[in-house]
Structure 1
Amino acid sequence: MLEFDIVLIVKMIIIGLVQGFTEPIPVSSSGHVMIASEILGLGEQGFTFAILTNTASLFAVLYIYRKDIVRLAVNSILYLKTKKLRYKSDFRFVFFIIIGTIPASVLGILLSDYIAESISMTTIALMLFVTGIALWLIRNIKGTKGEGNLSIIDAFIVGLGQAVALTPGISRSGATIISAVAVGMKQDTALRFSFMLYIPVSLGGVILGLSDFLNEPSKAELAIPYLAAFFATLVMTYFGMKWFMGIMKNGKLGYFTYYCFFVGTLLLIFF
């Protein structure tokens, strides 16, 4: 029994590492978790596991952007109180985040039953090809829009990208960053806006799924494997995010096109 537990813990750590590393990058973390689970013989991971690892990734993103979050919150409150122009840019950015959150929030509620359905390897492969093509199309676009130059239309279009990512196999970070670059955002602004959008949607998902997590009948016996996966996801999301920020800074987003095509082709051949 002890040996089985150790093996399960190791497998869960591997799944957590895969989830954590692929969450920030445009390759579909849910798809990669499914692939890793299949290879490791774990089967499909349940909703409880998804909530747990999503919470770990959320904590990592919150930590990385903690200074931005505090600045945006404080300056937005100050703008509402004083109407001083020096705080207006941050207030507008927060407003645009709210606008961008609406499409995924609405569709997430309306399509929750569909989203919860299992996905096939073929679906993941096809969506990786779609992501790869989109990344290739925007790879050389050098946007000019910073945080102070965004519009409601820009925010809503990126929000629609996040809503599209509700489709099984589509990368959330990929869809939002592709949309943001396509509307003319600088790559660093696109990255920041993408993950600022991730925070409220992810937080909402955690809150909505909390009751299911607490009522999970097997959570006690899986406590140690789940905790191992949680911390593996937390740590790897942090390092994956830092690595991806460097990729974006150097304008190497197109490299993910080759990866998406490569993995998509392997899935079609072997699965």
Structure 2
Amino acid sequence: MEELIILLKYIFLGSLQGFTEPIPISSSGHLVIAQELFGIEMSVDDFTFEILMNFASLLAVLAIYRKDLIRLATNSLSYVRIKTEETKKDFQFVLYLLIATIPAGVIGLLFEDTIAAVFRSTKTVAVALIATGIALFFIRNLKGRKNDGDLTWKDAVIVGFAQAIALIPGVSRSGATIVAAMGLGMKQETALRFSFLLFIPISLGLILVKIPDLALGDMWLPYLLAFIFSFGFSYFALKWFMNIMARGNLIYFTIYCLVVGFGFLIFG
């Protein structure tokens, strides 16, 4: 019976992390909330769980954006040999993704443990969710004019620092980067693509840095199930979020973040 409970716990956590990772409601914040609500003892400091769930979400992003990734890689390599306007735009897009990765990469390496220790509480998560909800409210109707080829290095830096802010539990990575991107005038499709392609290098970096801490042991089955469910829910949630964005229905996430945030701030 105890083994079944452990399996169900990790299936639940994997599903929760997978579903909340792509949408702007903070996966790390919801893991903290889940622990508080259901008395789950597993710490989100569990490096093996963190690595595997990150990898599952990464695979979902790679699957959905595979055509964009192939085009960007092909055209960027072509630009090195034959410089054309079309290949230049994709080369610069990749360059800006790399630039935007730097703030979160540096701050994460230096201060991630400190940030997690200081800010990991339901009150912090509640405040962060409220801030996310307010930010989403202000950009909900923005259409933007910047396509992939219209971005600048300044856009990349600002979106990069927005991603760094998401190191605080309760601040959604996708929410922070999309709010910043759309606030800078990017079209919704460009903001979405830049945000989720930006997830790739930062996720790969996290996996490479923390892979020495990977330890399956007797927990291989719970971790495997959590991984499978995390991948499935990440894939579904990202597709669903893309549809929500296309319909201009970000207000749903605003309402959710505010209700949950104020709920835990008052009653948590």
Structure-2 residue corresponding to 1:6: 4
- Contact 1:21/1:233 (8 A) holds in 2: yes
Structure 2 Cα separation of the partners of residues 30 and 166 of structure 1: 9
1:267 paired with 2:268, answer no
- Contact 2:116/2:168 (8 A) holds in 1: no
Structure 2 Cα separation of the partners of residues 220 and 249 of structure 1: 43
Structure-2 residue corresponding to 1:233: 230
Measured after TM superposition, the shift of residue 127 of structure 1 is 0.4
User: Among 241, 244, 264, which residue is 2:241 paired with?
Assistant: 244
Cα deviation, 1:27-58, whole Å, max 9, x if unaligned, reads 11011122223333322232221111111111
Measured after TM superposition, the shift of residue 84 of structure 1 is 2.1
Structure-2 residue corresponding to 1:135: 136
Structure-2 residue corresponding to 1:151: 152
Cα deviation, 1:164-201, whole Å, max 9, x if unaligned, reads 11122211000000000000000111000001111000
Structure 1 Cα separation of the partners of residues 219 and 116 of structure 2: 21
Matches within 5 A, 1:35-46: 35-43=33-41, 44-45=43-44, 46=46
Cα deviation, 1:57-87, whole Å, max 9, x if unaligned, reads 1111111111111110010000111112221
Measured after TM superposition, the shift of residue 115 of structure 1 is 3.3
Structure 1 Cα separation of the partners of residues 7 and 64 of structure 2: 27
Structure 2 Cα separation of the partners of residues 178 and 24 of structure 1: 14
Structure 2 Cα separation of the partners of residues 70 and 98 of structure 1: 17
- Contact 1:58/1:199 (8 A) holds in 2: yes
The worse-fitting range, judged by mean Cα deviation, of 188-197 and 46-55 is 46-55
User: Among 16, 19, 22, which residue is 1:18 paired with?
Assistant: 16
User: Among 29, 32, 36, which residue is 1:31 paired with?
Assistant: 29
Structure-2 residue corresponding to 1:94: 94
Which letter does structure 2 place at the counterpart of 1:265?
Answer: F
Structure 1 Cα separation of the partners of residues 248 and 66 of structure 2: 24
Which letter does structure 1 place at the counterpart of 2:79?
Answer: Y
Measured after TM superposition, the shift of residue 113 of structure 1 is 2.5
Structure 2 Cα separation of the partners of residues 140 and 94 of structure 1: 27
Structure 2 Cα separation of the partners of residues 34 and 182 of structure 1: 29
Which letter does structure 1 place at the counterpart of 2:263?
Answer: L
Structure-1 residue corresponding to 2:179: 178
Structure 1 Cα separation of the partners of residues 166 and 112 of structure 2: 13
1:59 paired with 2:59, answer yes
- Contact 2:116/2:169 (8 A) holds in 1: no
Structure 1 Cα separation of the partners of residues 57 and 97 of structure 2: 19
Structure 2 Cα separation of the partners of residues 68 and 138 of structure 1: 25
- Contact 1:11/1:40 (8 A) holds in 2: no
- Mark the runs of 5 or more structure 1 residues left unpaired by the alignment: none
User: Sequence identity of aligned pairs in percent?
Assistant: 52
- Contact 1:89/1:148 (8 A) holds in 2: yes
Structure 1 Cα separation of the partners of residues 266 and 217 of structure 2: 39
- Could you state the TM-score of these two structures normalised by the residue count of structure 2? 0.95
- Mark the runs of 5 or more structure 2 residues left unpaired by the alignment: none
- Contact 2:100/2:161 (8 A) holds in 1: yes
- Could you state the TM-score of these two structures normalised by the residue count of structure 1? 0.94
Structure-2 residue corresponding to 1:50: 50
Structure 1 Cα separation of the partners of residues 262 and 222 of structure 2: 32
Cα deviation, 1:131-171, whole Å, max 9, x if unaligned, reads 01111111111101010111111111111110111122211
Measured after TM superposition, the shift of residue 254 of structure 1 is 2.1
- Contact 1:15/1:37 (8 A) holds in 2: no
- Contact 1:125/1:267 (8 A) holds in 2: yes
Q: Once superposed, what is the RMSD of the aligned Cα atoms?
A: 1.2
